[in-house]
């Protein structure tokens, strides 16, 4: 499977997930959203849900996909740098957020 196909599947799963910009977005929360949505809907179901939303609500779907693309870009940078630098955690041992909603 190529990187492009994996990236598309990740974006489709995040799009179909219940994750929202207002949620606390840790790497773990995003990974959980991707995994649980793919298990629940499958890759084809995620793509179908995304296509349905673009057909029914194109403006809202475009905004959501823009947010997801930004989020996955942030995650890619986070994962890249976390390989070279030990992960920072909060006082309770939790991972620091990848990106906080504005």
Q: How far is CA 79 from CA 18, 26, 88, 89, in A?
A: 22, 12, 12, 14
**Minimum mean pLDDT range among 24-28, 43-47, 62-66, 98-102:** 98-102
In a domain, 37, yes or no: yes
pTM over 0.75: no
For residue 64, what pLDDT is reported? Answer: 95
Lowest mean pLDDT: which of 10-14, 18-22, 63-67, 95-99?
95-99
Any domain includes 61 = yes
CA 96 to chain CA centroid, nearest Å: 16
Distance CA 12, CA 5 (A): 10
Give the number of domains in the chain: 1
2 is a domain residue: no
**Range of 41's domain?**
25-82
Alpha-carbon torsion, ordered 52, 74, 23, 20, to 10 deg = -10
Q: How far apart are the first and last CA of the chain?
A: 35
Task: Judge whether 77 lies within some domain.
Answer: yes
């Amino acid at each position: 499977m190529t990187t492009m196909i994996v990236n598309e599947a990740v974006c489709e799963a995040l799009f179909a997930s219940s994750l929202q910009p207002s949620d606390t977005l840790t790497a773990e929360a995003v990974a959980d959203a991707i995994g649980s949505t793919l298990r629940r809907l499958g890759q084809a179901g995620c793509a179908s849900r995304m296509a349905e939303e673009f057909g029914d609500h194109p403006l809202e779907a475009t905004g959501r996909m823009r947010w997801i693309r930004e989020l996955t870009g942030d995650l890619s940078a986070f994962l890249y740098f976390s390989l070279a630098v030990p992960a920072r955690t909060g006082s309770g041992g939790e991972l620091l957020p990848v990106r906080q909603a504005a």
